Amino acid sequence: MQVLIVGRELVANRLRPLLASQGVETVEFTSGFGEGDLPAPGERRLALVDSMAPGLESVCRSINCSGGIPLVLVVERGDEVDWSDVERLKASGFVSSSARDPELSARLGAVIRRLAPVG
């Protein structure tokens, strides 16, 4: 599985080792993201998008237009999560980057397992 991490380097640095421990390859975009940055269809993918990423709506729109890449927002501690925002951005859900490592790792693992092929 390949996970796209879009947002601040702080968030990428937090998520990278947790995903690597689960055998997940990451592709990081910490200084801008556009539709041309999306990988070609093929391998299962997931996009983790920092809720504080510059141009959040544009980033989410690009990912959603690519089709087939689930999008999960990564929020900071204390951020109020408004489900209407999650719906508006067409995100599958959210995870908190401020969760303790075991909890964040378990939440990321659950999202990845949901994407695993059945059978």
Q: Is the pLDDT of residue 6 over 80?
A: yes
Q: What local confidence, expressed as pLDDT, does residue 17 receive?
A: 92
pLDDT at 40: 61
C-alpha 54/C-alpha 30 separation (Å) is 10
Domain range summary for the chain, segments of one domain joined by +: 2-115
Q: Does the domain formed by 2-115 have CATH 3.90.600.10?
A: no
Q: What is the mean pLDDT of residues 96-111?
A: 85
Looking at residue 49, what is its pLDDT?
92
Mean pLDDT on 77-92: 78
